[in-house]
Amino acid sequence: MKYWWRNVVKDYLTFSAKEKNGLLIMGLVIAAIILFSTFYKKPNQVITKDAFQHELAQLKITVDSPGSGKTFDRDEDYIDYSRPKANETERYFKGELFAFDPNTIDAAGWKRLGIRDKTIATIQKFLASGYRFKRPEDIKKVYGLSRESAERLIPYIHIHENETTAKNTSNRPENVSVPIDVNREVRNTKVIDINTADTTAFISLPGIGSKLATRIVNFRQKLGGFHSVAQLGETYGIPDSTFQKIKPRLACTNPALKTIDINTADVNQLRSHPYLKWNIANAIVAFRQQHGNYTSVEDIKKIDIITEELFAKIAPYLVVNK
């Protein structure tokens, strides 16, 4: 046991002259790498304003061009609330809208409204069996009629109260529309503030169901509050006919908007706003890094890809804290 440690030291901790030289060289190389990485500084690259604007223009072409074939994973969760998809727009606005009584309108009338033949046959079977629509909302019960189509038609449904009136309506020429007192319901309903109303308040509006009410509230949260009534009409899925009908009932008083400081916000914070896509957010941050902090919100108009229209939409949500 006495000589065991001596054998261990001799076998494992004793180096030859060649091994000692190798360890010394390795130590010197490691020390040189550490010193080089500590004291070496990459020279700052000077970029002129013209070169920067050219780079931004190329970024716009790459990101916005439909034929570029390039996608960005960071934009997969972006939702453009201001415009419906092409097939959604066709669904909402297909057909001609006019006042009608669902209990007396014929198949040709339903066709004019943009309803499919199969759904028309279902409605006629219901009526033939003795069923009668008592409220405009009853149209949602029709099997095969989408919720969006029902919400599009509800503002134009006018159910007659007695058989005599219904009979006279059924004899009316097909191309004659029934006038509706649109302001009658407005006078009987209080105006709601679009920045404080909950989904229940929005559902009380004609043509707004639970799905659209939820979309309005979600859109408001992503925006950071509405600064005008017109913005509510940008909510995904709201037909313009419905928005024009409920517009007199809406108010936007003393909006407390959630703002973004463009001198401290990063790309992710900026692109979280519905009005700012990734390329715009990236350009705002890049311009700040190249030219220093913004002195006013209007400074972002110096970026070529920010149009006057976009600036007018986004400016109320931006601030500059100096």
Question: For every one of its 322 residues, what pLDDT tens digit does the chain have, with 9 covering 90 and above?
Answer: 556 666 666 666 666 777 778 888 888 989 888 888 777 666 666 666 666 666 665 555 444 444 444 444 433 344 444 444 444 443 444 577 888 888 988 888 888 888 888 888 888 887 887 888 888 888 888 888 888 888 888 888 888 764 434 444 444 444 444 444 444 444 445 789 999 999 989 988 988 988 999 999 999 999 999 999 999 999 999 999 999 999 999 999 888 899 999 999 999 999 999 999 999 999 999 999 999 999 999 999 999 999 999 999 999 999 998 6
In CATH terms, 97-180 corresponds, of 1.10.150, 1.10.8, 1.25.40, 1.10.287, to 1.10.150
Helix-strand-coil split of the chain, %, nearest 5: 55, 5, 40
**Rounded Cα distance, 155 and 208, in Å:** 10
Report DSSP state, residue 16: -
**Rounded Cα distance, 292 and 213, in Å:** 42
Helix (H) or strand (E) holding 24: helix 17-39
**Rounded Cα distance, 304 and 51, in Å:** 13
Give domain 48-75+259-322's CATH architecture: Orthogonal Bundle (1.10)
| Angle, CA 154 vertex, CA 148 and CA 158 arms, to 5° | 160
The pLDDT score that the predictor gives to residue 48 is: 64
Q: Which residues contact 34 (CB under 8 A, 6 or more apart)?
A: none
CATH topology of domain 183-251: DNA polymerase; domain 1 (1.10.150)
Domain boundaries, the chain: 4-35, 48-75+259-322, 97-180, 183-251
**Rounded Cα distance, 24 and 40, in Å:** 24
Instruction: State the first-to-last Cα distance of the chain, in angstroms, to the nearest integer.
Output: 76
Same fold, 48-75+259-322 and 97-180: yes
Other C-beta atoms closer than 10 Å to the C-beta of 286 total 16
Q: What is the pTM of this model?
A: 0.45
The pLDDT score that the predictor gives to residue 60 is: 52
